[in-house]
Amino acid sequence: MTSGITALFVAALLLPGVCSTASAAESYPNRPIRFVVGNPAGGGQDILARAIGAKLSNAFSVPVVVDNRPGAAGNIGAEVVSRAAPDGYTLLMVGFANATNVGLFKQLPFDLMRDFASVALVAESTNFLVVPGSSRIASVRNLIADAKAAPGKLNYASGGNGTAPHLGSELFKRMAGVDIVHVPFKGGGQSIVSVIAGQVDMLIVNPLAGLPHIREGRLKALGVTSLKRSPAAPAIPTVAESGLVGYEVISWWGVLAPAKTPQGIVTRLHQSIGDALQQPDIKARFESQGIDVSTGTPAQFRVFLQNEIDKWTKVIRETGIDPI
């Protein structure tokens, strides 16, 4: 009986699918890895992808090449990876916009939960609610009071429809019960310049782009959008503790692979990315900029991703933002 079971087990291992999957995981990686970023070079996703890619290249002894595929709010890059072979040699850096796109686009050529395997949530950060450095508005309560006193007079900037500044500001408006007008720009850089110049009254900005201007006084930070204060700027209160209880908008970044990527390869990638993020130079670099680097399990990232999709799809529907 025992010998028969053993024979069946050996025979199963010799099946082409089982054998190839096992050998692929054992030999991985043995050629260059492509790390797709659905945004132009220089943005938060690109910066993180290049930092992580350099560490993975050293750990794996193979090149990790960042492939920028900007366009359609990150959907072009995501589609490229959704159609790639599930062998661990094509990865996708994702962020906030990838989750909100589910509610913003009427049709997508892929399903974010069905067509990808979760590898790792690599970083999270708060955002800053800012006004021009010269603004007389000194707190979140001041901002809400001014907006209520003159509905439609104040405005806010964003880098475009569906971005974190756009949706975060719409959530702020809904929770505070105020009317503040949206002024979209073609990118985050232009939106920051408009607020510094005093042309627009308010902006939600990530720490990578906003902290240098806050520290130089060109922007005034009224609050942070996470539920806890930022270690990079501990004196700035949260929006929630400033009167808008429960308000939270975080930026985040993670890594996905095509669906059906072998679990052994996903596990190896997850462990190696976690090791990279804990290296002192990486950790110090990003934490000084208000970004917390950490990796939960792939399963935890999958739950997180679904929660972000559900949260922002609800906000999009309740605020009446038209799908694209």
- Show me where the domains of the chain are located: 29-124+251-318, 128-224
Q: Which two tokens stand for residue 72?
A: 């359609």
Among 227, 251, 250, which Cα is nearest to 95's? 251
Determine the pLDDT at residue 187: 78
Interhelix angle for 44-60 vs 263-277, to 10°?
110
Q: Which residues have CB under 8 Å from 128's CB, separation 6+? A: 204, 205, 206, 207, 210, 211, 214, 219, 221, 223, 224, 225, 233, 236
Tell me the pairing of strands 251-258 and 116-125. antiparallel
| Per-residue pLDDT tens over the stretch 53-85 | 999 999 999 999 999 998 888 899 999 999 999
Whole-angstrom distance, CA of residue 67 vs CA of residue 118: 19
**Residue in the block written with tokens 């408006």:** 173
Residue 222 Cα to chain centre, angstroms: 23
Tell me the pairing of strands 181-184 and 155-158. parallel
Q: Is the pLDDT of residue 4 over 70?
A: no
Residues present in the chain in total: 324
CATH fold of 128-224 reads D-Maltodextrin-Binding Protein; domain 2 (3.40.190)
Determine the pLDDT at residue 185: 87
Among 323, 318, 322, which Cα is nearest to 174's? 318
Among 79, 219, 59, 194, which Cα is nearest to 137's? 219
- Answer for the pair 221, 138: CB distance below 8 angstroms, yes or no: no
| Per-residue pLDDT tens over the stretch 187-224 | 788 999 999 999 999 999 988 889 999 999 999 999 99
**Residue in the block written with tokens 């990876």:** 81
Q: Which two tokens stand for residue 53?
A: 């890619």
Residue 175 Cα to chain centre, angstroms: 23
* Amino acid symbol at 303: V
Percent of the chain with pLDDT over 90: 71
Whole-angstrom distance, CA of residue 295 vs CA of residue 269: 11
48 or 119: which carries more pLDDT confidence? Answer: 119
Burial-class residue 131 by CB neighbours within 10 Å (0-12, 13-18, 19+): buried
At 139 the three-state DSSP class reads coil
CATH match of 29-124+251-318 with 3.60.10.10: no
Determine the pLDDT at residue 163: 82
Q: Is the pLDDT of residue 12 over 70?
A: no
At 236 the three-state DSSP class reads coil
Q: For residue 16, what pLDDT band results from cuts at 50, 70 and 90? A: low
**Residue in the block written with tokens 């800012």:** 130
